Amino acid sequence: MVFELLTGTGLAASAGLNAYIPLLVTGLLARYTSVIDLPGGWQWLGNEWVLGILAVLLAVEVVADKVPVVDHVNDVVQTVVRPTAGGLAFGAGSAADTVTVSDPDSFFSSTGQWLPVLVGVLIALGVHLLKSAARPVINATTAGFGAPVASTAEDATSVLMSLVAIILPVLVLAFLAGFVLFLPWFLRRRADRRRERRAAREAGFRV
């Protein structure tokens, strides 16, 4: 069951960065390659109409997420979209036959589709909240110039993590380790920014 969990986790975490990339990657690989074989309840991901819609939504997301201020509005909207996509990605990935998993464990199939979807929602929501909290800090410290750079890095990470989750899920552990290492640094940086803003406000009041 470990590889199934890692595949689902990688896809769900990827959705926390970009809702459409893991779904599009999964659908394209399922439709045009033998790398992943989706179970009956998830074969709609490989439908050409679904793939087309995901491609259009991805194009909009890629542009909107790289413009300061607009990226914040987009993150608010994506608070619902990304966790939902994470649930779908985890559910599809954890139940699929892949080059690594030829016989998905019966644990998830015995509990129905709701449990893996719920797990995926929570994973994607956690990553999304961290991304949403980090972006204002990046924008403020770079006068907005960091937004497109950070967004491009997030998109690239989402693509890479989606592919790794399906092809070599054990490497998802490396992404998780990076996340654990990044979190303390980010929390300290955010606390520093709050102290700087508080000090600036107090200085303004004294003046």
Closest CA to 91 of 126, 111, 120: 120
Mean pLDDT computed over 35-57: 92
Terminal-to-terminal C-alpha distance of the chain = 62
DSSP letter, residue 103: S
Cβ proximity of 87 and 118 under 8 Å? yes
pLDDT band at 57 (very low <50, low <70, confident <90, very high): very high
Mean pLDDT computed over 181-204: 68
Give ∠ CA 36-41-47 in degrees, rounded to 5: 65
> What per-residue confidence (pLDDT) applies to 109?
54
Q: What is the pLDDT of residues 62-108, one digit of tens each?
A: 998 888 778 888 888 899 999 999 999 998 888 887 766 666 655 55
Higher per-residue pLDDT: 66 or 160 = 160
Is the pTM higher than 0.85? no
